[in-house]
Amino acid sequence: MTALVSVALISVHMMNMSRDDTTSYGLLKILESNPNLSQRELANRLDISLGKVNFCLKALIDKGCLKVNNFRNSDNKLAYAYLLTPHGVEERAHMTARFLRYKMQEYNRLREEIESLKKEAEQQDMAESVELTKGNTKGSEPNVEW
């Protein structure tokens, strides 16, 4: 299998686990131990946009995975704590299992692709070596045009 075909297959497989699933998993994982983080801090930790964090948090709240508590922080500004509900803890456990399966499949595909590329590189090196020595007699320089 060529590298290009393999990359295309990986892209198709990656669609099975949507980016929103990956973001939701990251949010639940972070919020489980850091419920007082702001949306901006979550966006920075996950390296995604603030809008995407807001969108995914709303979806998790709508699904019943998160509960929001309002409080005043030390700067007298309204702040939020995003608390995982029992359903959220259960959903995070299911997402962890799906995420692990996805990453293991990705790992196996990458390992196979690496092996294929190594073989391809070895064959190319061998072909280049044969080209360099074609028509060569013992003790003479290879016929190479520069």
What pLDDT score was predicted for residue 110? 95
Structure tokens at 124: 């190319």
* Domains, in order of start, for the chain: 3-118 (1.10.10.10)
How far is 54 from 67, CA to CA, in rounded Å?
Answer: 14
How far is 6 from 45, CA to CA, in rounded Å?
Answer: 31
Distances (CA, A) of 19 to 64, 93, 138: 20, 18, 60
Full pLDDT tens readout for the chain, 146 residues:
444 444 444 444 444 567 778 899 999 999 999 999 999 999 999 999 999 999 999 999 999 999 998 876 656 566 789 999 999 999 999 999 998 998 999 999 999 999 998 888 888 887 676 665 565 555 555 554 54
How far is 84 from 96, CA to CA, in rounded Å?
Answer: 15
What pLDDT score was predicted for residue 58? 95
Does the global pTM surpass 0.85?
no
Say what angle helices 50-62 and 19-33 make with each other, to 10 degrees: 80
- Other CB atoms within 10 A of residue 38 CB: 15
What pLDDT score was predicted for residue 9? 42
Cβ atoms of residues 80 and 57 within 8 Å? no
